[in-house]
Amino acid sequence: MTNAPRLNRQLCFALYSASKAATAVYRPILEELGLTYPQYLVMLVLWENEPRSVRELGEELGLDSGTLSPLLKRLESLELVERRRSALDERRMEITLTDAGRKLSAKATGIPQHLADAAKLSAAELEQLRATLDRLTSALHGHL
C-alpha cells in the first residue's frame, strides 16, 4: 500500500476543500442577502449583462437546465429576476433583473473583498490563483 495515492497529495481534494471553505466564508454574507451561493452566481452573471437567455446562463455557469431552472424559479419568487419569452423567438426564455435585483448588487459589492480578507492572500496572489485555475479548467474541459 505504500504506492497508493495519498489524499493530502491529490489536487482534486485540495480543489474540493478550497471550494467548500470559500463557500462557507460566503454563506453568512449571502444569507443576509437572502441568496444561496448558486443563486449568487446567477446574479453575478446578470449584474454583468442582462437580459440573458437560460441557455446563455447555463453555458456561462456550467449548469444544465435541470439545475438552473429551479434556481431561476426561486430567484423569481424572491422578486429578483423575471423570466419572459423572447419577442423575437418564443423558444428563448430571457432572464432580466427586477429593480430589487439590480439594487441587490450594491449590497453585494463587498463580498469579493470579504473572501480576499479571509484568504489572507494579496490581490496579486489571488489573481494568479484565479488565472491558474482558469487555465486548469480550460485544459480539463479540452480533455473531455
**Whether CATH 2.60.40.790 fits 34-105:** no
Beta-carbon count within 10 A of 93 CB? 19
Question: Alpha-carbon distance 58 to 71, whole Å?
Answer: 11
Question: Alpha-carbon distance 95 to 50, whole Å?
Answer: 7
H helix or E strand, kind and range, residue 81: strand 81-85
The pLDDT of residue 33 is 94
The pLDDT of residue 1 is 59
The pLDDT of residue 21 is 95
- Residues of the chain under the 70 pLDDT cut: 1-2
Chain mean position to CA 1: 39
In the chain, CATH 1.10.10.10 sits at 34-105
Chain mean position to CA 134: 14
Nine cell digits for residue 130: 484565479
The pLDDT of residue 8 is 84
The pLDDT of residue 42 is 96
pTM of the entire structure?
0.87
Alpha carbon distances (Å) from 72 to 14, 18, 30, 47: 30, 26, 17, 14
The pLDDT of residue 119 is 92
